[in-house]
Amino acid sequence: MSRKMVLFIALLAASALPSSENAFGQNSNIGWSGISGGAGLSGAGNSGVVSSAGQALVGSSGASNAGVTSGFLAVARSVGPLHLYSVTDKWNLISVPLTMSDYTKTLIYPTAVSNAFYFNAGYFSDPTLENGVGYWLKFDADQVLSLSGEERTLDTIDVIAGWNMIGSLSTPILAAGVGSIPGGIVTSSFFEFAGLYQASPTLEPGKGYWVKVTQAGQLVLSAGGIIESQNRIRIVDRGEVPPAAAPEGEK
């Protein structure tokens, strides 16, 4: 196939791509995956080339200044609207609030400078992340991360007696509205980390939280409806604080 024909195919694919809005109401596009082809592509409308994690591959071009970016052939593939999450310099307690096509840590958080550490009666690292789990992750500067995936409005998270690091959903929910299996599990407050621990009445998207439970079971996070009172947790503040704010030897 000639170079001109390949470029023509890429242009046809670009013209058919719709746009969507990101979490902040700004116009963002249904993503393309980029593969090395050498033929280049031309932007159409307000479109851009993104990876499965929402990171820019070769930038974007608008209709008013459409041009050809060499080195990639665009393949139309919907990856959903972009969602933006802020992290700070040094350690962050985070989670994956979307259903992703790939849960590899280096793809979801390519700018992180540490392993991802989860807690299970001690700290362990894992190169593959999961929904519903809280992770310690270190960055070398304040920054805004972009993730693309399907929103999660319901999750059931296994917990053990004692301290647990859990994840959040795609939308904020009240801590007092969290359910449990069995119903009525007694918990501590939910603690976020912003340089130090502080109790949080709301579980925010993209953040991880510490919570202590009195028995093994499951926590039910739901943004789609109210959980009946007998099936909710009972938060009892006993003045306890979570374990150390980062794995030993990793500070």
Question: Tens digits of per-residue pLDDT, 15-72?
Answer: 444 443 333 333 333 333 333 333 333 333 333 333 334 443 333 333 333 333 333 3
Distance CA 20, CA 74 (A): 18
Where is average pLDDT lowest: 42-46, 163-167, 173-177, 192-196?
A: 42-46
Q: Which two tokens stand for residue 161?
A: 């007696």
Distance CA 207, CA 186 (A): 22
On the question of pLDDT at 233 being above 90, the answer is yes
What integer best gives the mean pLDDT of the chain?
A: 76
Helix (H) or strand (E) holding 9: helix 3-15
Tokens 């009892």 sit on residue: 236
DSSP 8-state class, residue 104 = B
* 249 φψ region: left (φ > 0), alpha (ψ -120 to 50), beta (else): left
What confidence tier does 224 reach under pLDDT thresholds 50, 70, 90?
confident
Q: Do 143 and 184 form a contact (C-beta atoms < 8 A)?
A: no
- The phi, psi pair for 3, rounded to 5°, reads -60, -40
On the question of pLDDT at 227 being above 90, the answer is yes
Question: Can you give the residue ranges of every domain in the chain?
Answer: 3-80, 83-235
